[in-house]
Structure 1
Amino acid sequence: MPSSRYLTRKMMAPVDWSRVRGVAELGAGTGVFTREIGRRLHPDAQAVVFEADAAMRRRLQAECPDLHYWGDATELTPALKQFGIGQLDVVFSGLPFANFEQDLRDKLLSEVVDSLQPGGLFIAFQYSLQMKKQLEERFASVKIGFVPMNVPPAFVYICQKQEDAW
């Protein structure tokens, strides 16, 4: 079932879209967030959408042709390089981390942290609080919101990478 408009609003709310020049979405699925990213994206910004299912990826590409597309979210760094995108301002994720083996979680989170610029945001929804500790170990700040008006209800993690120290 697609994410609700309430979850979409909660996911997009922390982002200052006027400043964003690099975005990634991990696990686009039906494209609810993809379409919203496409609507909000600054004309000078670029976005890479990761979706493992080739048929879904092709459908999204036809629907939002101005965005870049890639299959494997563990290849975030090579994808950014291929598309000439530097560090990202924000990474959105709908990936079901709770369903993944720990090695895959670690690989994905390392790719996310490495791809974000200092102060960048990782915004992910999950259906449990299982990822809280792992995210707190990797990010300077982790805030959690709750969206009851979604099926199922969802937690939104808003994680900020450490700013550069002076």
Structure 2
Amino acid sequence: MTQELAAEKILFLKDFLLNPAKIGSITPSSSYLTEKLLASLPWERFNVIVELGAGTGVFTEYAAAHKRPDSVFLVIEQDPQMQKALKARFPQVLFGSQAEDLPALMRLHNLPKADCIISGLPFAVIEKKDHLKILAGIDRSLSSHGKFVAFQYSFQMYCTFHRIFRKVKLGFTPLNLPPAFTYTCCK
């Protein structure tokens, strides 16, 4: 394990212990989960990409490596230490702090609707009124042909996602700690 990866895992665990409702897991997402969630996306068609709850940047790194050079990438991470580390690693990316403010952040950066929104947010531990506000913002911010991809540690969000999106594809990744459900949603 590299020194940088070890430091990320320690930061993640420390933040989880201090505030489990905001972090949602004891460890960052695995490469297995990243591949399962992001590998099949049509990166060449995405002009605007948004990531909610970037954490230590596991999905950020994948998206930055696979997006078109001219695509715009907005990353939202509320933890100040994690956001600072992400800004240092990804200086070409736009940043915001609150997923609840997604539509306002997109207006602030003069962005059209997103072609892809990636979520690492732990909806199961976010207060219902807040996660409903976030989902309403996702619905308003995603283009009519856009994709919303997320993971959760249960399938409890399936019905909620299905109320917003026409198509919801559920997957499962047992090789993650903890094992995770993946959601690929289309309007």
TM score, norm. by length of structure 1: 0.94
Structure 1 unaligned residues grouped into runs of 5+: 162-166
How far, CA to CA, are the matches of 2:56 and 2:73 in structure 1?
A: 17
| C-alpha deviation, 1:13, in angstroms | 2.3
Which shifted more, 8-17 or 87-96? 8-17
Q: Is the counterpart of residue 160 in structure 1 residue 151 in structure 2? A: no
Higher helix fraction (1 or 2): 2
Q: Is the counterpart of residue 17 in structure 1 residue 40 in structure 2? A: no
How far, CA to CA, are the matches of 1:15 and 1:80 in structure 2?
A: 22
Structure 2 unaligned residues grouped into runs of 5+: 1-26
Please show how residues 5-154 of structure 1 align to structure 2 within 5 Å.
5-154=31-180
How far, CA to CA, are the matches of 1:16 and 1:31 in structure 2?
A: 20
Q: Deviations over 1:15-47 (max 9, x none)?
A: 111110001110001110011111112111101
How many residue pairs are counted as aligned between the two chains? 161
The answer for the alignment partner of 1:4 in structure 2 is 30
Identity %, equivalent residues: 41
Runs (4 or more) in structure 1 with deviation over 6 Å come to: none
TM score, norm. by length of structure 2: 0.84
How far, CA to CA, are the matches of 1:2 and 1:55 in structure 2?
A: 15
Q: What RMSD in Å do the two structures reach over aligned CA positions?
A: 0.8
